[in-house]
Amino acid sequence: MKRQYSVPALAKGMSIMEMLASSRDTLGITDIYDRTGLPKSSIFTILSELEHLGYVAKTEDGKYQLTLKLYNVGMERLSKLDIRQAARPEMEWMAENLKFTVHLAILEDDKALYIDKVNGPGFVQFSTQIGQTQLLHNSGVGKALAAYMADDQLLQAIAKHGMPKTAAHTMTSLEEFKPFLVGVRETGYAIEDEEGEAGIRCIAAPIFNHTGKVAGALGITALSSELPSRAFGECGELLRAKALAVSNKLGYIPEP
């Protein structure tokens, strides 16, 4: 499909900036000409304007390199990204298609804090609400967050809030909890199987920001009868993919 509008000069300028960004060496007008075939007069005009705007700088030998201005523009945009805004479309999709309640949580005071929620369309509605906190050891979102905490931070959280037994299956010791968290990192999602409350199951996956650190967790909550254990793997993989989609919106680039 042919675009209705185009700005050739802008496209050329962006092409040159991307070339400078990917090059280990500084580039001169002739270098850029050899790689693009653009007229040298056009390359000179574009570079002069980019230099004037502060996006490129001329070196002592007359070649060009990018400045950090473009990086700073990107960082400014990243600083304004709202994880709720990034996650909301994925949450609504999951609630509609999986028929489960979906939560978005962040780490706050060494607990999982709900910052957004989308109810599933089912008859049963969970009483969780935005602003509510969950302990790390007995909630899906808590486990997803805890799996990527440093050891000293995890120990601090457990020392502060403990690991109270809230249901028959609740893990109450670090000796049991730590190996479980290793499994979370391996699969990319955490399962909470009636550990916070009898009859309730949760699955959650971590969300990463542009620095590669965990920014939050995306989780589903369902009645045990509606989320059988045989569905854990399929739902977990889907949840991991949706959490990764949110991470990508926040600028996260997975390591190869």
202-254 per-position pLDDT tens digit: 999 999 998 999 999 999 999 999 999 999 999 999 999 999 999 999 999 88
| pLDDT band of 40, cuts 50, 70, 90 | very high
Interval 78-132: pLDDT, tens: 666 689 999 999 999 999 999 999 999 999 999 999 999 999 887 667 888 988 9
What is the spatial distance between Cα 143 and Cα 134, in angstroms, rounded to a whole number? 10
CATH for the stretch 8-77? 1.10.10.10
* Burial degree of 205 (CB within 10 A; 0-12, 13-18, 19+): buried
Confidence band, pLDDT 50/70/90 cuts, at residue 4: low
pLDDT of residue 174: 95
Q: Rounded to whole angstroms, how far apart are CA atoms 213 and 225?
A: 34
In the chain, which segments carry CATH 1.10.10.10?
8-77
How sure is the predictor about 1, in pLDDT bands with cuts at 50, 70 and 90?
A: very low
Contact present, 57 and 65 (Cβ < 8 Å): yes
Sign of CA dihedral 159, 165, 167, 173: positive
The CATH number for 81-249, chosen from 3.30.1360.120, 3.90.1150.10, 3.30.450.40, 3.90.226.10, is: 3.30.450.40
Cα gap 162→144, rounded to integer Å: 17
